[in-house]
Amino acid sequence: MRKALFAIFGMAAMFAACSQTVSASSNDDEEKASATDSSDSKGTGAGSSGSASSEDALDKDCVGEPGKPWDGTTAKEFACGSGTKLSPYIILTAEQLAKLAFIVGANEKEYEGKYYKLAADIKLNEGKVIDDKGALVADSAKLHKWTPIGNSSVAFTGNFDGNGHTVSGMFINTTSSHNGLFGNSSGTVQNVTVADSWVTGGECTAGVIGSNGGSVVNANNYASVVGLSDYVGGIAGQSNGSYSTTTIVKNSKNYGVVQGKNNVGGITGRAYQASMEKVENHGLIEGNEEVGGITGRGGYTYISVYLFDCKYAINTASITGKSSVGGIMGAAGYASPNISGNKIITTLDNAKNSGKINGEKYVGGVIGSANQTSICRVGNTSSIEGKQNVAGVIGNIVSSTTSYMYNVGNVSGLGYVGGIFGNNKEGVTSSAYSTGKVDGDSLVGLMIGYNYNTTMADYYYLKQGDQEPFGQNNGGGVATPKIASEMKSADFAKLLGADFVYDSGLNDGYPVLAWEKKLE
């Protein structure tokens, strides 16, 4: 480590669910908003996401000199404002931001549920904290240590509007839990970027929020995050709701390097009773178990009433782990081995991976391991490497419904290796193609390594010598071979269904998903 560093349904039910999702997600503006912003795909410095002007229109009575690095003290008052929606508390200086951390940590009741707004960029330490590769370069002995807003005992309950501004120079180095700009929040955090920062901590560690029990919208992270334990993320270490509340993560991106043990992700380490939309990861992610570009685990391990849904998710960076490693999710759905009679508890709709994925067991371009899930409109374009249960889309999948999938990346492993699934049991699946090379020792197929008792339709693969589409097909469906010229055509896209489109200039001429083309 560098210093510094996811019940069987009928086919009709599946297509009905998919078509409903298409209808709900047909807004072009929403789809375009999910596209990668190439102008900020690099860099870890402040302002790289486009901060708002530091000359915001302010009340003439606002006090504080913006732009100065933090001196380590805490302001007695905010710049101005009364904490209401129409008159939020204005934060101009690092000392005033430190006041927010103090009043939340002190559990001062008069400030609960109030509104707060940044009116300038905040610099918590002077000089460069991390380099372009995410390594710590500042002298840590000389840095002011940031105390997160909220902790394991008390959560921020208000509305924090970063107003497009950046908080940079943050330094956290601890073994305790709940770390980030916010340690714990059940309120709303929005429109803020964390840049040029270093965060090391225990459970629930992230660049923006250690533990999200509310909403985070329009957040970007460029900080390097090193979790010494579980639940580690770029945006939130965990985003968990309850029986009565659902957490939200929306329009958020991670560019920082994220490392941890288990449940590690570019956006969240773990998420249940949660909803994510338009989320992207562009930072290197490393961990042991349940490691993903977007989330390490989506869904709850034991309780099926906790749901998780994610749509419009993109990963472009390398993801490395040992077990349950995926470009979008490391693990999805329910962890129990029970394979029948369970409801869908995790859904993934419109997702793409283009980052290299490397692991040992349960490794997939989109999801490492999935149980009781619904997956629609997903693709992988990069290489996938592992040992057991390795695939271009999902390494191991049980009791799930899947449709409109493709893989054009090469896949290599030892056993249960496939272009689409490594191991597929008791599922309903349709409309998929794979063109990548698939190598392994046993139960190796160009489409599925081992297929058991599955309802299947419209599976196609690029013919590659005498290699079979299934390593073993123990009941359920066939796959049809095609040559490259057939697959690189508008007719083939139509054969796959309305959610695929043909464009000779995309994906080396192979069909892409309609939502992807709208991003161009």
- Does 495 lie in the same domain as 386? yes
Would you say residue 187 lies in a domain?
yes
Residue 21's pLDDT is 37
Residue 56's pLDDT is 61
Average pLDDT of the chain to the nearest whole number: 89
Q: Identify whether the C-beta of residue 155 lies closer than 8 Å to the C-beta of residue 185.
A: yes
Which amino acid appears at position 378 of this protein?
V
Would you say residue 103 lies in a domain?
yes
Output phi, psi for 98, to 5 deg: -65, -30
Give the model confidence (pLDDT) of 235-289 as tens digits.
999 999 988 899 999 999 999 999 999 999 999 999 999 999 999 999 999 999 9
Would you say residue 2 lies in a domain?
no
Output phi, psi for 54, to 5 deg: -80, 0
Residue 39's pLDDT is 36
The average pLDDT across 119-140 equals 98
Residue 25's pLDDT is 36
Residue with tokens 């047909």: 26
CA distance 293 to 264: 8
CA distance 406 to 428: 16
Would you say residue 38 lies in a domain?
no
Residue 53's pLDDT is 44
- Does 494 lie in the same domain as 402? yes
CA distance 215 to 273: 12
**The pair of three-digit structure tokens given for residue 230, joined into one six-digit string:** 């579980």
Give the model confidence (pLDDT) of 340-385 as tens digits.
556 788 999 999 999 999 999 999 999 999 999 999 999 999 999 9
Would you say residue 142 lies in a domain?
yes
- Does 399 lie in the same domain as 375? yes
**The pair of three-digit structure tokens given for residue 479, joined into one six-digit string:** 């796959």
Q: Burial letters for 143-160: b for 16+ Cβ neighbours within 10 Å, e otherwise?
A: bbebbbbbbeebbbbbbb
Can you give the pTM of this predicted structure?
0.90
Would you say residue 281 lies in a domain?
no
For residue 49, pLDDT beyond 50: no
Sequence-distant (6+) residues with CB within 8 A of 460 are 432, 433, 479, 480, 481, 482, 487, 492, 495, 496
46's enclosing H/E stretch is: none
**The pair of three-digit structure tokens given for residue 18, joined into one six-digit string:** 């998919």
- Does 67 lie in the same domain as 11? no
**The pair of three-digit structure tokens given for residue 194, joined into one six-digit string:** 């964390």
For residue 329, pLDDT beyond 90: yes
CA distance 5 to 424: 35
Rama region for 262: left / alpha / beta (φ>0; ψ in -120 to 50; rest): beta
Give the model confidence (pLDDT) of 65-115 as tens digits.
999 999 999 999 999 999 999 999 999 999 999 999 999 999 999 999 999
CATH of the domain at 439: 2.160.20
- Does 316 lie in the same domain as 205? no
Parent domain of 475: 7-33+288-520
Domain count, the chain: 2
Domain boundary among 211, 244, 271: 271
CA distance 369 to 294: 14
Domain boundary among 209, 244, 271: 271
Residue 173's pLDDT is 98
Residue 20 pLDDT grade (very low, low, confident, very high; cuts 50, 70, 90): very low
Which amino acid appears at position 233 of this protein?
G
**Angle CA(228)–CA(97)–CA(145) in degrees, nearest 5?**
35
Give the model confidence (pLDDT) of 190-221 as tens digits.
999 999 999 999 999 999 999 999 999 999 99
Residue with tokens 């375009």: 32
The SS3 assignment for 459 reads strand
- Does 123 lie in the same domain as 79? yes
Closest listed residue to residue 452, CA positions, set 461, 443, 460 = 443
- Does 57 lie in the same domain as 139? yes
Would you say residue 84 lies in a domain?
yes
Would you say residue 266 lies in a domain?
yes
- Does 372 lie in the same domain as 314? yes
- Does 165 lie in the same domain as 64? yes
Give the model confidence (pLDDT) of 404-446 as tens digits.
999 999 999 999 999 999 999 999 999 999 999 999 999 999 9
- Does 128 lie in the same domain as 23? no
- Does 354 lie in the same domain as 255? no
- Does 200 lie in the same domain as 82? yes
Sequence-distant (6+) residues with CB within 8 A of 85 are 115, 159
What distance separates the 2 farthest-apart alpha carbons in the chain?
78
Sign of the Cα torsion 480, 481, 484, 485 reads negative
Domain boundary among 244, 271, 298: 271
Closest listed residue to residue 212, CA positions, set 191, 230, 238, 193 = 238
